[in-house]
Amino acid sequence: MPRTKPFISVSAVVSPAIVEELDRLATANKVTRSTMVRQLLEDSLTRRANERQDDAFDRLEKRLRGIENRFGALIVKGIKFSAQATYLSMRNLEFSGKPQGKEYLNKHWKDSREFAGKAVESKAKAEESKTSEED
């Protein structure tokens, strides 16, 4: 019958204190010394693999946080631009599409920026109240 696990012969020179600790652990777990060494080696390799995986998850989390922040900023810009376009369209309709002087256009542009800022603030407050109600 073939072996299910490969057999690797390993020899190591260790201090007597380590041998005593291995013997103590083996007798406490009611296994042989070689089985105890195998379990300790597996635990060490598993722990090292988990540390590498945790590091990868941390890097991924940081990257996703950055992407989320960029998308949030993009959404805010979109809200601002749509609010400005709405304000300018409203002013254009108010004057029935008649040409206006440059000073009025500059004034309307500044007003549209203020209107957009208020729109972003109101949207942010609405989102905050929505999330606080869900909690």
Q: Report residue 130 as tokens.
A: 């929505």
C-alpha torsion sign, points 86, 90, 91, 96: positive
Residue appearing with tokens 């631009």: 81
User: How many Å apart are CA 110 and CA 5, to the nearest integer?
Assistant: 76
- 42 near 8, Cβ under 8 Å? no
Average pLDDT for residues 55-79, to the nearest whole number? 91
Identify whether 105 is part of a domain. Answer: yes
Residue 61 has pLDDT above 80, yes or no: yes
Identify whether 90 is part of a domain. Answer: yes
Identify whether 58 is part of a domain. Answer: yes
Identify whether 25 is part of a domain. Answer: yes
- 80 near 117, Cβ under 8 Å? yes
pTM of the model: 0.50
Identify whether 23 is part of a domain. Answer: yes
* Per-residue model confidence as pLDDT tens digits over 106-135: 787 788 888 888 877 887 788 778 777 766
pLDDT in the model for residue 66: 94
Identify whether 8 is part of a domain. Answer: no
Identify whether 74 is part of a domain. Answer: yes
Give Cβ neighbours of residue 83 (< 8 Å, ≥ 6 apart): 112, 115, 116, 118, 119, 120
Alpha helices in 12-101 (DSSP H): 16-29, 33-94
Domain count, the chain: 1
- 47 near 62, Cβ under 8 Å? no
Residue 1 has pLDDT above 60, yes or no: no
Identify whether 1 is part of a domain. Answer: no
Q: Print the domain residue range for 112.
A: 16-134
